[in-house]
A = this chain, B = another copy of it.
Amino acid sequence: MDKPATIKDVAEMARVHAATASRALNPQTRDKVSPRTAARIVEAARALGYSPNSAARSLRTRTSSVVGVVIPDLRNPVFPPIVRGVEDALREAGYLALLGNTDGDAARERDLLATMRGQQLAGFILATSKRDSVPLGPDVSVVLVNRRTDAGDVPSVVADSSAGVHALVNLLIARGHTRIAHLAGPQDTSTGVERRRAFLDGLATRGLAPAGVEVCDAYSEQAGFDATHKLLAATSATAIVAGNDMIALGCYGALAELGLRCPEDVSVTGFNDMPFVDKQRPALTTVRIPHYDIGYEAARLLLERIATPSSPPKRLVLPVELIERNSVARVPLSDT
């Protein structure tokens, strides 16, 4: 394989000028060239295995078909399906995804964004979890995933946390629970505060007071473990609504250590429906989030934004689904 064919090679083979070839090869301007010559050019391109040099194109058009996808850590199981959804939507439109992890570190995020900005990216999908404003100018297209700015001036795609928590709370109440506690996620994440608020709201509308609320440092098993210990040292509860599945797993561990059975003694719920939580003992009752769809829709939104930057910033809220398994039991009779 020698040097890749350029548009000039294609033009030469089709006996036209490079400009004509450019027009014929570009869907945008295809109609500015006669069908006959266009066909000849397309054929020549195919024959030569022509693939446009994106650097040259970017240099000329000041944009590219690449979008930056920024997440905290790919190893967090919620992100792979999201990123996959993003990638699929992007690819359907001929775009590519540039992936970067920030570990939730502001400095690393700034650094990454700076590096990416040098690449003439067409836009960004940000799935970092902090609630502060977007560290990008208004001249770049951005879609937020899993979080929103307080101002609401940036397009975003999130799952309906409130509806999910309400469904969980209602399920517990229907099972007879009245002493329900919450292991909240970090309060510098939008999901953390939204779910916490929904928990309080949900309880209040049913005339119940929370049995306790403990905030976790992180969405991790360890944090869930620690918070459960703290929570149960201060209060007793027959049910615990965990901020997400990881926290719920930590809760499982702490419960076992305290000699409490789940769900016989304490019911536990999660959030996210991560892979394999159906295989836990007990299988976790949780809320399923359409991760893939979130990613897919986010990319669609970004593409839309790129095409029409003036379009109003949509905020998409995707429905969630209650997944009942075995970690919720009817409240023990001795506790009623």
Contact = CB atoms under 8 A, between A and B. Distances in A.
A117 B51 contact: yes
Q: For A64, A116, A279, which residue has the most chain B Cβ atoms within 10 angstroms?
A: A279
Contacts of A98: 66, 96-99
A83 B55 contact: no
Interface of A: 1, 4, 51-56, 58-59, 64, 66, 69, 73-75, 77, 79-81, 83-84, 87-88, 91, 94, 96-101, 112, 114-120, 137-139, 249, 275-276, 279-281
B101 A99 contact: no
Contacts of A94: 115
Nearest to A49: B114
Given A75-B80, A77-B275, A84-B75, A55 B64 contact: yes
Contacts of A58: 55
A292 to B, nearest CB: 8
How many copies of this protein are present in the complex? Answer: 2
B52 A118 contact: yes
Contacts of A117: 4, 51
A96 B84 contact: no
A58 B118 CA distance: 11
A115 B1 CA distance: 17
B80 A96 contact: no
A99 B95 CA distance: 11
A185 B113 CA distance: 40
Contacts of A120: 53-55
A72 to B, nearest CB: 11
Given A75-B81, A81-B75, A280-B279, A118 B53 contact: yes
Contacts of A116: 96
A99 B87 contact: yes
A73 B64 contact: no
22 contacts: A51-B114, A51-B115, A51-B117, A51-B118, A54-B55, A54-B118, A54-B119, A55-B59, A66-B119, A69-B99, A74-B83, A77-B80, A87-B100, A87-B101, A91-B112, A96-B98, A96-B116, A98-B99, A99-B99, A276-B276, A276-B279, A281-B281
A79 B81 CA distance: 12
A250 to B, nearest CB: 12
A70 to B, nearest CB: 11
Nearest to A52: B118
A334 to B, nearest CB: 28
A4 B63 CA distance: 13
B96 A97 contact: no
A259 B288 CA distance: 31
A60 to B, nearest CB: 9
A97 to B, nearest CB: 5
Contacts of A1: 137-139
A73 to B, nearest CB: 7
Given A276-B276, A279-B279, A96 B119 contact: yes
Which 5 A-B residue pairings sit nearest by Cβ, starting from the closest? Answer: A55-B58, A1-B137, A276-B276, A55-B59, A51-B118
